[in-house]
Amino acid sequence: MASQFVLPARNLVPADGLTADECATVEFLAIGAHAVRRGSVGQDDRVLVVGAGPIGLGVALFAVLDGGSVTVMDLDAERLRAAEDLLDVSTLSAGMGGLEVAKARTSGEGFDVVFDATGSRSSILLGFDYVAHGGRYVLVSVVKGAISVEDADFHRKEMTLLASRNATSVDFVRVMAAIRARKVPVSRLITHRTSLAAAVESIPLWATEKRGLIKALVEIGDGAGTSSEP
């Protein structure tokens, strides 16, 4: 561990007024904010976020803040309960019959904007079916290999396919403004903590035992509140 490092000043974003814990959430939330900006979510847009992990929750949060009517879909019932508890969203199980239920909720039309945050190729392929005519499909997760599209359906719907990668300084600034305005439930997003010494045991444990896990922090230093995101 280095006590100091050097980088260009242009790569830094001032975090005035934010605690160490709040700073540790900015990066992953900015990925969601960037995706929402790419998807041009507007007032009353019907939005579907597939995947209720940390990135998906960030997408859902900023889609709500932009005025979208948001549904979160996942296979994990506990993650869906967490999404309902943390955010102003409805939820939908990704199990059997999920497409039929989703269509019923939108009068058979589908969603104006669909985001995939699963990291699953099969989920990405299924996501095209949830997009309404003229809608946008934003791929937030990245997978290896090719993704195929049923071209006739793609053209029939005249949908727009977008990729969203990482975030820009604009997104960082927006996330920090939302945190300062108390629009982000930071204390409830951070569910697990460990020390630097204990991280060697905690991180492998969290990789397999994910119950209740949204975001974990490694605390570094002498208890002064310095945090690092694993």
Q: Which amino acid is at 9?
A: A
Q: Which of 121, 183, 127, 117 minimizes the C-alpha distance to 154? A: 127
CA atoms within 13 A on the CB side of 38: 23
Phi, psi of 113 (to 5 degrees): -135, 130
Count of Cβ atoms closer than 10 Å to residue 210 Cβ: 15
Q: Which amino acid is at 132?
A: A
Token couple for 202 = 């905690």
- Using 50, 70 and 90 to split pLDDT, how confident is the model at 177? very high
pTM tops 0.85: yes
Q: Chain centroid to CA 23: how far?
A: 17
Q: What is the pLDDT of residues 130-153, one digit of tens each?
A: 999 999 999 999 999 899 999 999
- Using 50, 70 and 90 to split pLDDT, how confident is the model at 12? confident
Q: 44 near 71, Cβ under 8 Å?
A: no
- Using 50, 70 and 90 to split pLDDT, how confident is the model at 220? confident
Token couple for 125 = 């392929």
* Statement: residue 228 has pLDDT above 70: no
Secondary element (H or E) of residue 145: none
- Using 50, 70 and 90 to split pLDDT, how confident is the model at 229? low
Residue 47, pLDDT score: 98
- What the chain holds in terms of domains, given with CATH numbers, is 20-169 (3.40.50.720)
Strand, helix or coil for residue 135:
strand
Stretch 57-69: mean pLDDT, rounded? Answer: 97
Q: What is the pLDDT of residues 82-130, one digit of tens each?
A: 999 999 999 999 987 888 898 899 999 999 999 999 999 999 999 999 9
Residue 211, pLDDT score: 87
- Using 50, 70 and 90 to split pLDDT, how confident is the model at 2? confident
